[in-house]
Structure 1
Amino acid sequence: MPFKSGRFQKKWRDSIPTIVFLVICLALWQIIVSYFKLPLWLIPSPIDVLKAFWNTRELLWAHTLTTLLETTAGFVLAIALGLAAGVAMVLSPLIKRLFYPLLIVSQTVPLIAVAPLLILWLGYGLLPKIVTVVLVCFFPIAVSLIEGLEVSDDDLLNLLKSMGATRWQILYMIRWPNALPSFFAGLKIAATYSVMGAVIGEWLGASSGLGVYLTRSSHSFRTDQVFAAIVAITILSLFYFVLIAGIRRLALPWLHTKED
């Protein structure tokens, strides 16, 4: 218990500079808007954003739930596909030679150019938004897993091979444990991208979601509501990031013991 308490106090002390800097930025923002009497439609003050967040909380929550559903479904599907692709490419050099270059090239195509095609092919329901999230999250998950699986102790690999271990046994006993830190690093990156993917899909065609809320608020010059939506998107992204970090702590406790 004292160890955990001390670790919590250390993390709290480490976060104080960030909190102080954030408070200073918000205070300066409020002072500038108030001093120059900037109009609400141009740039709202933090207090205006807070009021908009509270006054439209029920509507904002309804749109957030839609984005949450799309993001969660797409993120889980991206993890499953990333795991399958990563394992397949590591176990089969032929599959890697065929598909890894395509995986890299796919990242040169802007998502904003692909999303309209998904709307055209899949309609205006949840499916195109889920697919958009998958496209955003799949790359960092798959690449981080592949890189992690390929970095292993050569002596251990040769030892297991000399003992007649199969590729699956080597994967389970050596490659997978070594790949977990890299895999979770990719999950953290994908977690922060996932909400953005859902919002982009909603911009191009949807009836609900934070992207729809953003678009409607922007068209009506309710900049305070636009900032409120940005706050909601940020909170949602941080939620997924913290969730993955918590799962990583449970799955890899020895790493956090070293770090602490």
Structure 2
Amino acid sequence: MNILESIKQKKVEEVAFLKSICSIKSLEKSGFFESKTISIKQSILFSKTGGIISEFKRKSPAKGNINLDANVISITTGYVDAEVAALSVLTDVTFFGAKPDDFFLARENNKIPILRKDFIIDEYQIIQSKTLGADVILLIAKILTHQQMHNYTNLAHQLGMEVFLETQNETEILSVLDIDFDLIGINNRNLNSFEVSIENSIKLAKLLPESSIKIAESGIQSVETIKLLKQNGFNGFLIGEYFMKEQNPAEKCKELIQQLL
């Protein structure tokens, strides 16, 4: 069993437990469910600082522990001060070390679009995402059926959220072109081998319509890489580890953005 299959199996167990302790009706009466969302698509399109989506995460299966004791408020508000286009906050506890209130604290303290970064395998998680205050959800093509992607995208849109659809290869990209996603991510990292290939992402981006809002994910470690990807049609860049491995992630983010300007 590879890591993605392990994560998916764990999510099935997690969602079953959540459903047993909190109904959908209860979710719809709590948190930020009635709050208006902020468009990440518009924020990326009109970004004056490079379309950076800065990520808050504590660890990952690929890199192990990154910054376990990171302060979510100081880092995310620091990212916003650096004028990023949006935030991404991990909510997976088992594999990414998220704390239960990470997303809540990020939402409470920031007024820019926030992506809920998790492994969504059930409609329950989409409703939960709205309750958490997410503006956009992540759907991963590799772990969902075509019908699930359609249904989950429609539900997210009904709730006022946008959809960030993550792909990794030609087959996945060609299979999702009829889905009404808002952003499409191309993961530079192979989720089976964890190898990173920027060249592969550039090749895959050419399969997408020019109108697609293309986001590069994983393994982005330099201004030169961002500029190369931008020249090849990418609109935004999801960056986590490059910032989070530093003692001051927000300052690293600010430095990168200043080099892009």
TM-score of the alignment, normalized to the shorter chain, above 0.5: no
Q: Larger C-alpha radius of gyration, 1 or 2?
A: 1
- Normalised to the residue count of structure 2, the TM-score between the two structures is 0.25
Q: Relative contact order, CA 8 A, sep 6+: which one is greater?
A: 1
Please identify which structure carries the higher helix content.
Answer: 1
- Normalised to the residue count of structure 1, the TM-score between the two structures is 0.25
